[in-house]
Each structure stands twice: as C-alpha cells, then as structure tokens.
Amino acid sequence: MTARESIKNAKRWVIKIGSALLTADGKGLDVAAITSWVAQMAELRQRGIELVLVSSGAVAEGMTRLGWAERPHSLSNLQAAAAVGQMGLVQAYESAFQEYGLHTAQVLLGHDDISARDRYLNARGTLTTLIKLGVITVVNENDSVVTDEIRFGDNDTLAALVANLIDADALIILTDQNGLYERDPREDPAAALIPMANAGDSRLEQMAGAGSGAMGRGGMVTKLRAAKLAARSGASTVIAGGAVEQVLTRIAAGEPVGTLLVSGQQPLVARKQWLAGMLPLSGSLVLDDGAVEALKVSGKSLLPVGVKAVRGSFERGELVACVNAAGIEVARGLVNYGAGEAAKIIGASSLNIEASLGYQGEKELIHRDNMVLI
C-alpha cells in the first residue's frame, strides 16, 4: 500500500482549519468557504470517515464583532474576543452541518485536559463517544480562560494532540499555502512543492521559515511540529491549501494534494509504544492466571474479576503495571480507577461496580486500547 493509499483508507480524521482561511484574513467569517468545507465533510461522513474538527477563528471573529482592527496584545482582551467569537464560530458550523442532518458539538480543551491523566481519559471518552454517535465535534482551545503559561501555543499543536487523543489515522491541516515548499513561495515563486516526506525529517523545518499571518499564532514550522506530534500515535499528516477546490474529498480519494508527511507506524501500535516508554509507573495490579491468559492470548481488556491485589497509590488515568502471581510484569496501561476504588471492586464482576462504589464507572479496570503487553 502506498502512502497516499493509506490516507485514502484512513477512517478517522482530525481536520484543522486556520484563522486566515476562516476569516478571509480578518474580514469576518467566510461563510461561503465554511459551507464548502462542511459539504465536503458531509460527503466524507457518508463514506464512513469519522471526523473531529479543530477550528481556529474564535479570536478573529470576536475582533470583527467588537470592531477591532488589530489583534489585541493584552490577555484579557484576547480572552474577551475569544469568548465573543466562539458564539459566531459555532453558530456558523452548526447551521452549515444541519443542512446535511448532522449534529455538532463543541469541546473546549485546555492544557490540563491533555497532560493530567484523569482528564485525558475524560476528554478521550467524551470525544470517542461523540464519534460513535456520529456527531461532528468542533474543538478549540479554551482561549477565554487559558493563560500564556499553559496554552498549547497554536491550534496546529492542539490538532495533533487531539489526533493522539482519539487514535486518529490522519491529521489534515488546511492552510493558506498549498503545502510545504522547498523555499518560501512568497519570496521565491519558483520554489517547488514537496509532495511527500517523513514527518520526522529534520531538514523540513529549515525549509519552512518562521512566519505567520496577522490573525494566527502558527506558521509552517508549527505545522511540521504538529505532524511530528501526530506521528507519535501513528497518524500521517497532510498540509494542504484550504482554497483548493474540493480539497478534502480529493485527499480522501488519494490524489496528490498538498504535502503528505508520513508517520511510518500503525496508530494503535505507536500509541502503545508511547504508553510503554514515556510514562512513569505509579503502582501495580496482581492478576490471576485467567486474567493473564485473557490479556496475553486473547487480547482482552482487564476486568476487576481477574485482579487479586492492588499495590501502590495511584490515581485514575495513571500508568500501572499488571503482574502475575510471581510478580512478573505482563502488561501495563492507564487505569480507570484510583487505587482506593480499585481495591473495592477487584475479584468481582463488573456488574457489581455500582453497588461497591455508589456509581457505575467503566466496566474495565484497564481498557485494551490503553494497554500494552510486555
């Protein structure tokens, strides 16, 4: 299978649309462009492609509504513009998607929603549930309350982290350039477009330059860094011109549109490698022989009934080891319950969780998608 065919076969996309495209360089929301992208996304949904949309434009739309000609420098004014602009941005998407009978949802994420393991699981659960329900989720950074010290920095980075979060197969970044060029095409019109490269190629950033438009915080460098982030969970990235006719459906058809940055890894395998090597262990669960076999032979999730003991002090969402009766590690994964709650439900059926804890949580102690075998 060629790299372009892998994008053609991708079933879960994160699509990021930049401010310059959405707002016609600060002139207010480009309703015609939004209508075109939504029509293409509706067609992708009919083909069975699952979509999450990361949309810039809230601050720019807020500036337009407030009559501000220049992007403000003060944090409070930026936050106010974001709060005002979110209303128009989401309204535009909701109205456009309703024409195709598609429901939409808005999710605002902050840095803690990604870095804190319990909130990571909450965000992942919300987004994957919305995907299963066929809802198009519009994600943005929670600009109205975030501070400079903890912000993602740009929506390219946010889109890549969302791709990691939901195990996306592809990250599509629509921008005002047609892709990555060997040199800045605004300075050298003869510069050649790079059709495909490895996302981890260190030479790419030297070609990208550092500029960004007046409305956005990112540039081509941030898009390359986003591609690297997306690649860590196996997603390949396409950087393409949002103004290209039928850009999304053409990418889905495997046409050579924009620049394809390949990850070279299968998404779930790459994510599990990340789980195994990048996070510290916070405790362990002692499994009976049946649970060990279910994990290693059948690839099952870990249920409470197969756990004999809880060791250590850990919180929901932290990484724990799964060991056999001899103390040998057989797997590790992100646990759905803290140590205290886990101790109350081990050795019993998942049907008894509500009776033991007073609420019905996840039926698995560790879901197989959040587990790697050792």
Q: Can you give the residue ranges of every domain in the chain? A: 3-267, 279-373
- Residue 53 clears pLDDT 80, i.e. is over it: yes
> 């920095």: which residue's tokens?
153
Q: Which helix (H) or strand (E) holds 13?
A: strand 12-17
Under 8 Å between Cβ of 145 and 187:
no
What distance in Å separates the CA atoms of residue 283 and residue 273, rounded to the nearest whole number?
A: 19
What pLDDT, on the 0 to 100 scale, is given for residue 144?
57
What pLDDT, on the 0 to 100 scale, is given for residue 216?
42
What pLDDT, on the 0 to 100 scale, is given for residue 122?
83
What pLDDT, on the 0 to 100 scale, is given for residue 141?
79
Picking from 19, 97, 80, the residue whose alpha carbon sits closest to that of residue 55 is 19
Question: Whole-model pTM?
Answer: 0.75
Under 8 Å between Cβ of 342 and 285:
yes
What pLDDT, on the 0 to 100 scale, is given for residue 238?
96
- Residue 105 clears pLDDT 90, i.e. is over it: yes
Environment class of 157 (CB within 10 Å of its CB; exposed 0-12, middle 13-18, buried 19+): buried
Picking from 150, 60, 136, the residue whose alpha carbon sits closest to that of residue 105 is 136
What pLDDT, on the 0 to 100 scale, is given for residue 157?
87
Q: Which CATH class is domain 3-267?
A: alpha beta
- Residue 146 clears pLDDT 70, i.e. is over it: no
Under the banding of pLDDT at 50, 70 and 90, the label for residue 342 is very high
The average confidence (pLDDT) of the chain is: 86
Q: Which has the higher per-residue pLDDT, 39 or 120?
A: 39
What distance in Å separates the CA atoms of residue 210 and residue 85, rounded to the nearest whole number?
A: 27
Q: What is the mean pLDDT of residues 86-115?
A: 89
Dmax (CA) of the chain:
69
Q: Name the β-bridge partners of 99.
A: none
What distance in Å separates the CA atoms of residue 248 and residue 128, rounded to the nearest whole number?
A: 22
Under 8 Å between Cβ of 192 and 181:
yes
pLDDT digits (tens, 9 = 90+) for 168-197: 999 999 998 899 988 877 788 888 999 999
Most confident of 41-50, 71-80, 293-302: 41-50
- Residue 167 clears pLDDT 90, i.e. is over it: no
Q: What is the mean pLDDT of residues 18-46?
A: 88
279-373 domain in CATH 2.30.130.10?
A: yes
- When mean pLDDT is compared across 22-31, 284-293, 303-312, the lowest value belongs to 22-31
Kindly state the tokens that stand for 289.
């022989």
What distance in Å separates the CA atoms of residue 53 and residue 146, rounded to the nearest whole number?
A: 20
Q: What is the mean pLDDT of residues 348-365?
A: 91
H-helix segments, 16-74:
19-22, 31-46, 58-66
Under the banding of pLDDT at 50, 70 and 90, the label for residue 217 is very low
